[in-house]
Amino acid sequence: MALRRCWRFAGIVPRLLWNSTVLPGASIPGGRGSVSSLVSTHPGCKISQLLLYSRFSSAPPSSDVSYEQLKQLLAGRKAVVIDVREPWELREYGFIPGSINVPLGQVNTALQLGPEEFKEKYGGEMPQQTDNIVFTCLAGVRSKNALNTAASLGYRDVQHYSGGWQDWVMHEQHK
């Protein structure tokens, strides 16, 4: 199966690239991790094929946002913050002020709605594909999935608050 995934790149990559050698642990252009991490997750692929895959992948580079960064983005209104938890979770535990609630199961559909329909259904402005979007959830798992969904739909500036609501509450209580 791994060979099948790699094989589709065979017609794209020049012969020179196929024979390239990269030292284990080397950084991958675009900040997507190390070569050894790619090789371990894609056995059977040549390193050059993996580098090409990482360069043209729709998945964004690592884009975690810290509590401090999120506070700055919210204060400057420089990002659309989307909380992907279920509505009952927000009612029971709370939410980040200024965030829009779009449950994870609805993210794909929601990001394809018209602006008016999005605003009517979710109560906030629909992000444009060029807007900075930060996804958040309880602890960073669902927000990472939402980030990948948005990236697959063509959104370029997507991030996620990996600490989620749990990290937010911890920082807010210490003030």
Burial of 148 (0-12, 13-18, 19+ CB in 10 A): middle
Token pair 């995934």: residue: 5
Pairing mode, strands 80-83 and 133-136? parallel
Q: Which of 84, 100, 137, 147 is catalytic?
A: 137
Helix (H) and strand (E) counts in the chain: 10, 4
* Sequence-ordered strand ranges (E) for 48-136: 80-83, 100-101, 133-136
- Which residues are registered as beta bridge partners of 134? 81, 159
Is the separation of the CB atoms in 25 and 34 below 8 Å? yes
Q: Is 6 a catalytic residue?
A: no
Catalytically annotated residues? 137
